Amino acid sequence: MAQNIIAIDGPSGTGKSTTAKMVAGELGYTYLDTGAMYRAITWVLENTKISFDKNNQVLINGENRESEIRDPKISAVVSKYSAIPAIREALTAQQREIASAQPCVLDGRDIGTVVFPNAKHKFFLTADYKTRAARRLLELQNAGKAGGETQESVEKNLRARDEADSTREVAPLVKAQDAIEIDTSHLTIQEQVQKVLQSVGEVARCNNSLNATHKG
Ligand code: DC
């Protein structure tokens, strides 16, 4: 059992990343945004011109691309690249390595099913499409990246990505059998964080009392 792993899966716009960050903050765990890793590799594949210097050394721009990977242009194609088995294998290995070195909250699509099927705590967040699209659009507006996006165009992208992420052959988006499902449509961020913390705390308390009973 991976004691110090909290897996938070679910589709985009369900509040996964905000919840995961806040739960990690409360517990002093590291937060690992696995979607950012798929977005980053997508951005690299879409944008990188690989070149060589006169000593045949490979050149790749080593700059911060956080803003670029959140762009709707990347959202539109990330599912295509994250379905490629070789890419998933490489990123899954990196995720296991990072999270094995420290207590971690990971959010993604396949954390509770494939990356850490033995995670101690598993959650699966959902929300209705209207709510998810409104949240995503607000996020894009706040980041100055909304461009010509509307709630309808954002919802269309969410639906297309859900379809691609859920039907791919390798590590599809699916709730782990033992994950706790939380519908966040009508919850505030504080409420959903509390639900996760409460459940993590209850399991911890339950284990402590079991240990105490066992030792006694
Ligand atoms: O969480 P996000 O929207 O930033 O994720 C971007 C895409 O990456 C998502 O549409 C599917 C893919 N992804 C994945 O396949 N597996 C993960 N563990 C995380 C993300």
| Ligand 1 centroid to residue 38 C-alpha, Å | 6
Q: Indicate the DSSP class of residue 13.
A: T
Q: For residue 166, give the H/E element and its range.
A: helix 151-167
* pLDDT tens digit at each of 216 positions of the chain: 888 999 999 999 999 999 999 999 999 999 999 999 999 999 888 886 655 567 766 666 666 777 888 888 999 999 999 999 999 999 999 899 989 999 999 999 999 999 999 999 999 999 999 999 999 999 999 999 899 999 999 999 999 999 999 999 999 999 999 999 999 999 999 999 999 999 998 766 666 655 555 443
Q: Give CA–CA dist 193/187, Å, rounded.
A: 10
Q: Enter the pTM of the model.
A: 0.86
| Ligand 1 centroid to residue 109 C-alpha, Å | 6
* Residue 14 Cβ < 6 Å to ligand 1: no
